Structure 1
Amino acid sequence: MTTSASDHIDLVGIVAYGHHGVLGWERELGQPFIIDVRLWLSLAAAGASNDLSLTVNYGTLAGEILAAVESEPVDLIEAVAERVAEVGLAYPIVESVRVTIHKPRAPVPVALSDVSVTIIRSRS
């Protein structure tokens, strides 16, 4: 990841209900997903001016992330992560984004507390 911004905004533990997965019951019944997002951006101008328009409104962003996860079902949580990364990078001030999608009820044959994928995407 290449970014000049060391400042970041974190949204941790967004809970969404989606119908993602390769099994029929996952698509039919759905399940919870937990999303963590970090945006790298410069917060200097917003901090100096106290101007919300110079940063990312995290309340708005959280709603957009929720909508992205709860929209059209896909097979893989990797695809959900890509969708969420696109939401973050839609803000011109954001240089890079890290997205972790947790699937705590993933259908695996062993006892575990969570399955997750993490991606990092930067503006090209």
Structure 2
Amino acid sequence: MDCINVTGIRAYGYTGYLPEEQALGQWFEVDVKLWLDVSTAAKTDGIEDTLDYRSIISLVKHLLITSKFALIEKLIVTIADSILAECDRLTQVQVILTKPAAPIPDFGGKISLEIIRTRS
């Protein structure tokens, strides 16, 4: 199966367990892998025969900006499910959600969560 990778989708959102995360917000970064068959598009050279990944970027940014969940687990599943619902051509999606600046004292690293969802 073929795979389109879209990396570095960034947006400022308000998902987080701590009250200040929901009030002040923070940056999130999302990478997605999108599995689909691109053989028809390779022959026709037509965007209508593949996935226009601009729509996926817009969808992810919208969800990051407008969602207000306590847990990133809820946010990442919402993103994956929404991507699968958006495009019938996809057979599977992998989403990696990263909090580049986690509000944890004495911790300068990143927190990432990764899920894979397959169309049932």
Both proteins in one fold, TM over 0.5 = yes
2:74 paired residue among 58, 61, 79? 79
2:117 paired residue among 99, 117, 121? 121
Structure 2 distance, partners of 1:86, 1:54, is 22
Identity %: 34
Please report how far the alpha carbon of residue 108 of structure 1 lies from its aligned counterpart in structure 2 after TM superposition.
Answer: 2.1
Query: What does the per-residue CA deviation read over 1:33-54, in whole Å, with 9 as the maximum and x for residues that have no partner?
Result: 0000000000001111111111
Across the two proteins, how many residue pairs are aligned to each other? Answer: 119
Structure 2 distance, partners of 1:87, 1:62, is 12
Please report how far the alpha carbon of residue 80 of structure 1 lies from its aligned counterpart in structure 2 after TM superposition.
Answer: 1.1
Structure 2 distance, partners of 1:25, 1:71, is 16
Structure number having the greater helix percentage: 2
1:44 is aligned to 39
TM-score by length of 2: 0.94
Helix, strand or coil at the partner of 1:28: helix
2:104 paired residue among 91, 102, 108? 108
Q: How does 1:92-107 map to 2 (within 5 A)?
A: 92-107=88-103
Structure number having the greater strand percentage: 2
Instruction: Give the unaligned 5+ runs of structure 2.
Output: none
CA RMSD, aligned part only? 1.1
